[in-house]
Amino acid sequence: MDQLKERIKDDMKASMKSGEKVRLGVIRMILAAIKQVEVDERIELDDARIITVLDKMLKQRRESIKQYTDAGRLDLSAIEEAEVVVIQEFLPQALTEAEIDQMVAQAIAETGATSIKEMGAVMALLRPQMLGRADMAVVSARIKAGFAG
């Protein structure tokens, strides 16, 4: 079994022992999402696939935070933000803006992309390297900016 799933399970046990109910709830939600994919696809997820699941959960939370904030429901937004903090603990270290810019420039050079029409090729190259380490919507905006400038 891969290390990330074990780490998540260990953190669940530690949260149970310390009585951290909110954290425990989020970790259980993470494990349920992983289990759902495993059952649906009849496979055991490796660390890379678990990161994909976590990244998707993070994206959903960010969208919810925006919607709740726009609707003035800061109470619900705060709950989602707390979930984001726990989910991010299991993802690889986030990339800095400078690292993202460098990787985008390198990917544009590697693919030989010269216009926004070739953005898909650049994203395809970057996605595996950045998944779980950067908000892909931000990366997409950086790529567009790279072509505009």
Residue 22 and residue 59 share a domain: yes
72 and 136 inside one domain: no
Residues 122 and 72 in one domain: no
User: Burial level of 46, CB count in 10 A (0-12/13-18/19+)?
Assistant: middle
The answer to whether 129 touches 48, Cβ cutoff 8 Å, is no
The answer on 10 and 83 residing in a single domain is: yes
* Average pLDDT of the residues of the chain: 91
Residue 115: the pLDDT is 85
Among 89, 111, 139, the domain boundary falls at: 89
Residue 55 per-residue DSSP state: H
pTM confidence score: 0.78
Residue 21: the pLDDT is 94
- Domain range spanning residue 60? 3-89
**Which residues lie below 8 Å from residue 9, measured CB to CB, with a gap of 6+?**
31
Between CA 121 and CA 115 the distance in angstroms is 11
Q: What is the mean pLDDT of residues 121-138?
A: 86
